[in-house]
Amino acid sequence: MKHESISGRVAAPLGDIAMQDAATKPAYLQIDGLWKAFGEFVALRNISLSIREGEFVCFLGPSGCGKTTLLRAIAGLDLQSRGTIHQAGKDISTLPPSQRDYGIVFQSYALFPNLTIEKNIAFGLENTKRPRAEIDNRVKELLALVGLSSQAKKYPAQLSGGQQQRIALARAIAISPGLLLLDEPLSALDAKVRVHLRHEIKELQRKLGVTTIMVTHDQEEALSMADRIVVMNHGVIDQVGTPTEIYRHPKTLFVADFIGETNQFPVRIAGRSKVALDATDLACAPHDLPEGSEATAVIRPVDIIPHGNSTSESIGTPENLIDVKVEKMEFLGAFWRCRLSSARFGGRILIADFSINAVRRLGIEIGGAMQVELPSERVLVFPGNS
């Protein structure tokens, strides 16, 4: 499926609400029962996934989880051992890369160093045997789209890393592919450029409406850019969901631990909404684990609510109001990360992130005593001890 004009199609606003509407669309890319083995090593195990037209999907996971292998299978660069891939209703499972409808951007950009910027972008177009006037117009349109019209006559080595990445994107979308594949496209850039460019890529994707898959190991990158995130671990998919679902409602301990910071404590199940940490009972989010079984309770530092020394300020459940001592404080710009100790936690350290205003208002300081609240709905429980 080709997009005939980069300016003639505008994607609908995306995000959690928009994704509810998108859920009714048929799958544009359908992967069923995909396996990939390299000798005795199984890199992908029975992967099934549906991606809708116009979605921005991130494959997220640690090194060696199989995310790049899955992307390469979609691209035809590493054929799967078994399973099928359909794109726009067409079986592409065994097609060579040249016969698949996608553009790809690699981590290293892979620009031709001996060609000017405009010739890099025109390379794929020239292979389609289009008229020279059409190619020239398309190149000008793309250079304007990525904001680099003045760089047309330069060579890749004369551009910054961020500019080279924009040119790589322009080259990938030059032939108006139905699918855009991004293999860790921002990992070689410094932090400030990465943050700027990820917003540019997302806006470009919205403008084009092109179905996009990006591989990344950066949780913040995935949360800020994706419509849906596919969290992978050891060659399988642990969870698929919107950024909000992945962050707020992880289905496994791995997902909870990998996405953002967490406090984890070994507990015993004391009821459908209660766990026991040593001699302390804590209210928690409802679960289906059997009473008396061992489990792991998880709460994110950002979910811990600071209070003064008086319980009169408490707005949560009394059993989750904990007396703590501030052991250490680390200033991280937008907030303070505090290490808290509590007798009720058996000497374990609780990490909490407090806003600058809360620290100032409550007079939080190293060595001081205070109370914190662990909202029961944010205390998540997973089977087994961590």
- Domain regions of the chain by residue span: 16-101+177-255, 261-383
Tell me if domain 16-101+177-255 and domain 261-383 are identical in fold: no
Confidence of residue 22 (pLDDT cuts 50, 70, 90): low
CB 231 within 8 A of CB 237: yes
pLDDT of residue 234: 95
Q: Provide the 10 A C-beta neighbour count for residue 307.
A: 19
Q: Is CATH 3.40.50.300 correct for 16-101+177-255?
A: yes
Instruction: Report the C-alpha gap between 234 and 209 in whole angstroms.
Output: 32
Instruction: Kindly tell me if the per-residue pLDDT of 197 is higher than 70.
Output: yes
Fold of the domain built from segment(s) 261-383: OB fold (Dihydrolipoamide Acetyltransferase, E2P) (2.40.50)
- Residue 70 structure tokens: 């899955």
Helix, strand, or coil here: 201? helix
End-to-end CA distance of the chain: 47
Nearest C-alpha neighbor of 43 from the set 236, 179, 173, 226: 236
Phi, psi of 155 (to 5 degrees): -105, 155
CA angle 329, 193, 66 (to 5 degrees): 85
pLDDT band at 386 (very low <50, low <70, confident <90, very high): low
Classify 289 as helix, strand or coil: coil
Residue for token digits 């404590």? 265
Measured on CA atoms in the order 334, 248, 63, 203, is the torsion positive or negative? negative
Query: What is the pLDDT at residue 167?
Result: 93
Report the distance separating Cα 383 and Cα 104, nearest Å. Answer: 40
Q: Quote the CA–CA distance of 183 and 62 in Å, as a whole number.
A: 14
Contacts of 10 by beta carbon, 8 Å cutoff, 6+ apart = 206, 207, 209
Q: Which of 349, 281, 347, 351 is nearest to 318 (CA)?
A: 281
The answer to whether the beta carbons of residues 185 and 214 sit under 8 Å apart is yes
Cα 149 to chain center, whole Å? 31
| Mean pLDDT over each residue of the chain, to the nearest integer | 89
Confidence class for position 14, pLDDT limits 50, 70, 90: very low
Which residue type occupies 289?
L
- Per the structure block, which two tokens stand in for 35? 């396996």
CA-closest candidate to residue 271, choices 386, 374, 381, 378:
381
Interacting residues of 217 by C-beta distance below 8 A, sequence separation 6+: 60, 61, 62, 63, 67, 184, 187
Q: Is the pLDDT of residue 305 over 50?
A: yes
Q: How many CA atoms lie within 13 A of 218 on its CB side?
A: 17
Give the DSSP H or E segment for 283: strand 280-283
* pTM greater than 0.85 (yes/no): yes
Sorting pLDDT into bands at 50, 70 and 90, what band is 109?
confident
Per-residue pLDDT at 243 exceeds 60: yes
Q: Rounded to whole angstroms, how far apart are CA atoms 227 and 18?
A: 9
Identify residue 47 by its one-letter amino acid code: I
pLDDT over 90 (residue 194):
no
Q: Tokens 């992130």 identify what position?
A: 353
Cross-strand pairs, 232: 237
pLDDT computed for residue 245 by the predictor = 96
Q: Answer yes or no: is pLDDT of 193 > 90.
A: no
pLDDT in tens, 310-368: 544 444 445 789 999 999 999 999 999 999 999 888 888 999 999 999 999 999 999 99
Q: CA–CA separation, 335 vs 357, rounded Å? A: 9
Q: What percent of the chain has pLDDT over 70?
A: 91
